[in-house]
Each structure stands twice: as C-alpha cells, then as structure tokens.
Structure 1
Amino acid sequence: MSEQETYTKIPFSVLDLVPVIQGSSHKSAMENSLSLAQHVEKLGYKRFWISEHHNADSLVSSATPLLIGYVAQGTKTLRVGSGGVMLPNHAPLIVAEQFGTLATLYPDRIDLGLGRAPGTDQATARALRRERMETVNDFPRDIQELQQYFSKTNNTSLVRAIPGEGLEVPLYLLGSSTFSAQLSAEMGLPYAFASHFAPNHLHEAFQLYRNGFNPSKQLDKSYAMAAVNVVVADTDEEAEYLASSMKQFMLNIIRNTRQPLPPPVEDMSKIWNPMEAAHIATMMQYTFVGSKETVGNKLNKFIKETAIDELIVVSHIFEHQKRLRSFELLSQI
C-alpha cells in the first residue's frame, strides 16, 4: 500500500465457536472465550458473537444463551450475542424469554443473530426438534413471532415473553445463500454473510440485500456484515504456520471427524490429499493470513470490494496467547 492510500475504517467484531483445544478441557475452552472477549473489549472491538453448534467434540457452544450470559457478565461495554441461534431448533417463545432475560441483565448489550441451518447433523437436529418439523417457509414466520414477543404491543396477548416484552432486542439475520439476504432486505434487518466457510454467493447476496432493502422500525438503511477467517502474527511465515490448525479444523469438517483443534504443523501435504486441499481452499477463499501489513492490505481490498459496514473475524489458533496476539495485531490495522 502506498503512502497516499488509507485503510477503510469500519467496526471489527468477533465470531467465536468456542473451540476445544486438543489436550484441553471443555471448561478451558469456555474460559478462553471469556478471556478473548475481555481482550478484544479493551482493544475496541464492537461485538462478540457465539454460534450454536451441537454434537461436535471440537466445539462447546451448544448452550449458546448460557455462554452469552457468561461472557456478558465478564465484560462491561462489549456487545455480546449469538452468531447465531439456529431458530428452527427452538420455539420462538423460548428464544424470546432467554434473550429477554439476557437483555434485562445486560441492557443495550445483547444481539440476537438468527440462522435457519440446524448447526449439526440431521440425526441431532431430529433429537433437538423432536416432533417439530420446520420448513424453509417457517423461518420468516418464526422471526415475526419473535418480533411480536419483544414488542410493547404484545402486552395484551394470551402468550407473552416475560422478561423480554417491550425490550425490542435487535435481530440480525445470518446466511450463506441468497435466501436470507432477500429475507433480511424484505424485513429491514441487518444481514451477516458466512463467507468464512461458504464464500460462493457473497457478492450476489449483498447486491440482493442492498437493492431490495425496506426500511423498518429497527433499521432505516441496509447494514451488511461479512465473516472472514483471520490469522495475524509478527511475520508471514509464523502466521502461515499458525493457520495450519485452522486448515486441519476445516479438514475435520469435510471428513466429518470434528475433532478438537489440533496443534499447527509445518507441512499440510502429509495430512490432506490434493482433492481435500482444493476443497478447503475454496471454502477458505476469504481467509487472511500473514503479518499486520500483509493482512491489512488484503482486508482493505476486501472491505472496499464488498462495501461492508462491519467485519466479523473468526480465528482458529491452537495456542491461546497466539490467538490473543492475532486479535491485538488486527486491532492495530
């Protein structure tokens, strides 16, 4: 980057899957998430989201609202929320009560990001939902039901979310396709795209979202967010080495082995085959690895190309102190 060019400044936030480190405990994974949240709060990050996943040895974010409360209690100003709650797994009333409770305890700090994927395999999804068979058409209806529970006008209804009623907890729609982009636009809600693992429809989704956006009570103009993978270290070489843990994490996903986050390795060719390497390279198209300068230049280009309003960062690094360092260096960009 030349001296004449400047970085495009937008808020940076964190998406945490609460990864389990190989050789460590579930409790340590949760403590590391709180430590990271406290760290990025001091560095000026805007929000800290936790995603819902089930039946995976590699992640312990299944009880998402409990972890959000744990992080919110251990921080002071950071916005904390879900990235997201998989709404088809839950009755909207339960979600409204849970997030109404959180918003009561931590006013003006709780976000409710919503997704429509199961966040797990089909067998586990059936165990979560029991007889509740959700279709794609139920998702918009469930969102409207949530909005009604959070509204002040629901106080005369037979079914009420207490606490939660009247709190107007902000909703965000998450997606990796054009469906949620169009729905976000139609409902006038902020939209976050999961480009950290599903990059293919990123630009198309944002175009549909912005072109079709309808102002709403929550939002008067479109607000687009993108999630990307980032690993920053003092040198490009160190960052590439640290990023091998993330590549192994992705490899476990496509192999459906879902093991705890492994330590970094010098040579990934001994672990994956060329087809797997190509698959993961496609999945990780929006991954930024390197020194502060290297990542800064690439991220700046991405932000300008997408015109996003906020960047959400995912970072799978084996050593907790190296992970903290990565977010520290990123904050300096």
Structure 2
Amino acid sequence: MITRIVLPLVAVLGVLLAVQSVLPYEMSLKSGKPVFKSKAPPASTPLQPPPEQPSRFRESIHGMGLVESQRENIPIGTSAPGLVTEVYVDGRPDYRPPHKRVGDRVKKGEPLFSIDDRELKAELQSRSAALLAAEAQLGRLERMPRAEDVPPAEAAVEEAQAKLLDAEAAFNRDSQLFQRKMLAASDYDRDRYTVQAAKAALARSEADLAKLKAGAWKEDIAVQRAAVVEARSQVESVKIMLDRLVVRAPVDGEVLQVNVRPGQLATLSWKEPMVVLGEVKRLHVRVDVDENDLFRFREGAPAVATLKGQVKPEFPLEFFRIEPYVIPKRSLTGDNSERVDTRVLQVLYILPDNPPARVYVGQQMDVFLDVGGS
C-alpha cells in the first residue's frame, strides 16, 4: 500500500524539479540574457616592450649592464675555518673606537673580522719555549769551555803528574834492589806496571784538558744551529697561521656588504661572501653584448645608459675595455621574452664622475652601444 503511494509522489517531485531547472533557461533564451556568469580568465602578464633607443644614435645594440666598483667587487672569505669571535665592520657602537659599518671606507690591512685563535696561541707558547731551549743549547756550545770547568781539569793533570813522579821514584829504587837480587821479580814487575799506568793516566788527563779547552765540536754547533733554525721556523709558521685568523682588507675600499656575525662558524665553503669590498669613487658598468650582435659591435663604440626601464636621464659612458672571452649569460633581467640559453661578450664602460642620478653597485641599467654613428 505504501509503495503505491510513495512511487507516484517521487515521480511528481521529479517532474517539478525538471520544470524548475528548464524554465529559467527558456526565459533566458527569450530575453537574451545569460543565466550563469562565468569568471573571466586571469589576465596574462603583458610582455615588456624593448627599451627605447636614445635619439642620439641612429642604430644601436641594447645590452643589460650591471654596475660594479672600479676594481670589481671583492668577495672576502676566510682561508682558515673556525668560530668567528669578532666582526670589526658590523657597526656596533659599544666599542672604542666604534666599529665601522656598511658604507664606511677601510684601508688596506685594516681588520674586518677574526677567527678563534686560542688553540694557536697555546701552540705558539709551546713553540716559543722550544725555540728558547734550542737557542740556550746553542749558546752553551758556542761559549764552551766554561771558565769553572778548566781549573778542575788542570788539577787532574797535576795530580796525574805527581802520581807518575811517585811511581817513577819507587820504580828506580826497586830497580837497584832488583839488580842486587834483594827484590822479588813480582815486586819489580808491579812497580814497572805502576809507572806505565801513571803515564797513561797523565796522558788521559792532558787529553781531557785539551778537549775541554778546544770547546764544542764544530759539527755539534752546526747541528744545534740547524735545530734553532727549525724551531724558529715553527714559531714563524704559527704566527702566520695566527695572522691568517684575522681577515684584513686587501685594498683600500668601501664596505658594500657584511654577511658574517660573531658566533657563526666560518667555513671554506661559505655560500655567500662574508664581506664584500669595492671602490665606489668611480663606478663601472659591465655590459652583456649578445653573441648574435657581435658582428655589429665595434671596440670603443660610444654608449649611453639609462636606469632599468627608464628613458631619462641618460648616462654618457666612457669605453674602458673588453673582456675577450664569450661566457654564458648570467645576469638576467626577468623579462618574459629574455633568452637565457645564449652567450655574451662582456664590455666595461665607465660611468661619469657626476652622474645625473645616483646609482648603486649591483644595480642593473639599460645600455645602448652605437653601431650606426651618431
């Protein structure tokens, strides 16, 4: 009974739902208005137009330029790994004198940061003590004999001489008795051997005195001098290693970047330069000339630069030099149409001393090289 009632109700509900879903569509066809609003597709990033060529050139080559210091940026690391104990260019004011900071100038040889040196200082003390011992031993050999050692040796010679005289006197007396048959042969032989022993003792004492007065053997002195040289070189080696733990500025320049802090573990495979130095009194622009444009490029071509993406102001450039080695392109602009699978020739130009706008090391510029005459 229930089935006979439920099934017709379900059928009626299905018909009503179908009519409800179709009715709006029919009405939209009559009115011409869409029923569902579709989302507009996301706008794609438009391609950037190529930089506008300066009016002073009839024909030019465009290249991306990277501002760098006059001597090129100097990335500084450490030649000895260890714990960084001090950074002298981190700008901390609680030192006297206060630490320098990024943007300050440093002189050649000025410390930038230092590595933990406690272990090497202990080794230096040990090496220095060994050097002092070697030098003292050499001095002892060179000043031989000691004045205090000579009198005992001379007294030993005199004692041996006295014993020899006593033995000879006794032997002479016994010789006369032996000739008169008044002394046994054994006693005579004992006195004769006593004289010979006294002579040998005297010779030994005289030889010891002569050796003492002659001083040290020259070969012994030479060996000890070599030991002193070796000990001194070991001390110098430790001092050099200690000096290497203080990283200093290789040239006069400006601190451009500091990427190290006290307490960090400095390694030889540091991912980025610990300190970057540069000479920013006069800046250069390193221009990448595409290999496809090299047939049009000529050395010493006039050039003009603008800030990236800008038309004005213009920076007149002075040709400096070419690096005659074509390399893979590394400086990318981020343009969607930029080719990255190409090679470039790098040309260096000099920015004017009084530029129309301030530029910074590492900044990108649009550079135009004249190839058709001004």
Same fold (TM over 0.5): no
- Larger RCO: 1 or 2 (CA < 8 Å, sep 6+): 2
Larger Rg: 2
Structure with the larger strand share: 2
**Structure with the higher helix share, 1 or 2:** 1
